[in-house]
């Protein structure tokens, strides 16, 4: 099995090293990751400046761009052959619920999925103030997935989003397949002045709460389960197509 790894925390990240260790027993591992931290860059694509690729030893490269850039270049330029699977992570911090809209970790997997390569995103949920990071627990989750993968290949065009609680493996309560929660953050806009007196801003507040189902990924991961959410590329609100039709716009002439 050819396994391509990427992330959004950058080529030097501890979570990427942990993922490389976890994947190594299952096949030939390639790493193509951003050269610097790209968390919360989502699926952005660099089209107006050049990208450079640097070698970091056998089968390891960094790209001076985003996670989506890295996976795109890996699939269409760097790797000698198509990988059988792409895994993105292990992210330093969870990507639960609506985090997936901002996440570069998930976007790297989504870029693979949109190229019809099976794709998994893996994140370690790190509560504020955590002193020990249990990468080994996330490594075990990756190993359990890859052990099953050849018998149960993932659907093309979908991403499996996985979040692992930051506890020793013996304390994990189990696996749960769960829908995405609605994650709420406190609003933070901090205004400062630079040394020349001009205003600048820091945005993005801390986690507040999860809304919606109690059996969605956020509450379950915080309760100690490894959560798995299959995600599709199609973000159409299919349930609302009928309601949108019932507005009656289709019956109207556009020009009058």
Binding site for Mn ion (CB under 5 A): 8-9, 39, 91
Report, in Å, the least distance between residue 8 CB and Mn ion.
4
Among 145, 67, 179, 78, which residue's Cα sits nearest to residue 112? Answer: 67
Q: Tokens in use for 221?
A: 């991961």
Closest CB 150 distance from Mn ion, rounded Å: 29
Of the pair 149, 166, the CB lying nearest Mn ion is at 166
CB closer to Mn ion, 9 vs 111: 9
> Which are the contacts of 81, defined by CB distance < 8 A and separation ≥ 6?
2
Question: In 163-229, where does DSSP find H-type helix?
Answer: 217-222
Taking the complex as a whole, how short is the minimal distance between the CB of residue 62 and Mn ion, in angstroms? 15
126 Cβ contact partners less than 8 Å away, ≥ 6 residues apart: 92, 93, 94, 133, 166
Which one, 26 or 121, has the nearer CB to Mn ion? 121
Which residue is at the shortest CB distance from Mn ion?
39
Question: Taking the complex as a whole, how short is the minimal distance between the CB of residue 218 and Mn ion, in angstroms?
Answer: 17
Q: CA-to-CA distance for 236 and 219, rounded, in angstroms?
A: 25
CB of 106 to Mn ion, least distance (A): 10
Q: How far is CA 167 from CA 134, 141, 173, 227, in A?
A: 6, 12, 10, 14
- Which candidate, 122, 217, 131, 142, places its Cα nearest to that of 167? 131
Please report how close the Cβ of residue 20 comes to Mn ion at its closest, in angstroms: 16
State the minimum distance, in angstroms, from the CB of residue 91 to Mn ion.
5
Rounded CA separation 191/62 (Å): 34
Using alpha carbons, list the distances in angstroms from residue 204 to 102, 128, 222.
12, 15, 21
> Closer to Mn ion at the Cβ: 42 or 91?
91
The answer to whether the CB of 20 falls within 8 A of the CB of 139 is: no
Nearer to Mn ion, 8 or 69 (CB): 8
Residues 78 and 70: their CA atoms lie apart, in Å, by 9
Closer to Mn ion at the Cβ: 99 or 217?
99
| C-beta closer to Mn ion: residue 6 or 39 | 39
């Amino acid at each position: 099995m050819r396994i391509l790894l990427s992330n959004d925390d950058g080529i030097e990240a501890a979570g990427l090293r942990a993922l490389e260790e976890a994947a190594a027993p299952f096949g030939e591992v390639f790493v193509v990751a951003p050269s610097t931290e790209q968390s919360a860059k989502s699926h952005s694509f660099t089209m107006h400046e050049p990208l450079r690729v640097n070698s970091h030893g056998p089968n390891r490269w960094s790209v001076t761009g985003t996670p989506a850039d890295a996976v795109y270049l890996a699939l269409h330029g760097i790797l000698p052959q198509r990988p059988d699977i792409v895994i993105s992570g292990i992210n330093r911090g969870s990507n639960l619920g609506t985090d997936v809209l901002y996440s570069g970790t998930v976007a790297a997997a989504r870029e693979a999925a949109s190229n019809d390569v099976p794709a998994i995103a893996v994140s370690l949920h790190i509560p504020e103030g955590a002193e020990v990071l249990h990468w080994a627990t996330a490594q075990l989750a990756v190993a359990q997935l890859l052990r099953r993968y050849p018998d149960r290949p993932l659907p093309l065009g979908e991403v499996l989003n996985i979040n692992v609680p930051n506890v020793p493996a013996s304390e994990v309560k189990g696996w749960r397949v769960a829908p995405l929660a609605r994650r709420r953050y406190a609003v933070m806009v901090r205004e400062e002045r630079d040394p020349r007196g001009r205003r600048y801003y820091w945005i993005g507040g801390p986690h507040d709460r999860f809304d919606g189902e109690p059996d969605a990924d956020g509450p379950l991961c915080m309760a100690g389960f490894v959560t798995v959410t299959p995600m599709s590329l199609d973000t159409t609100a299919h349930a609302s197509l009928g309601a949108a039709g019932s507005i009656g716009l289709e019956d109207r002439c556009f020009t009058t």
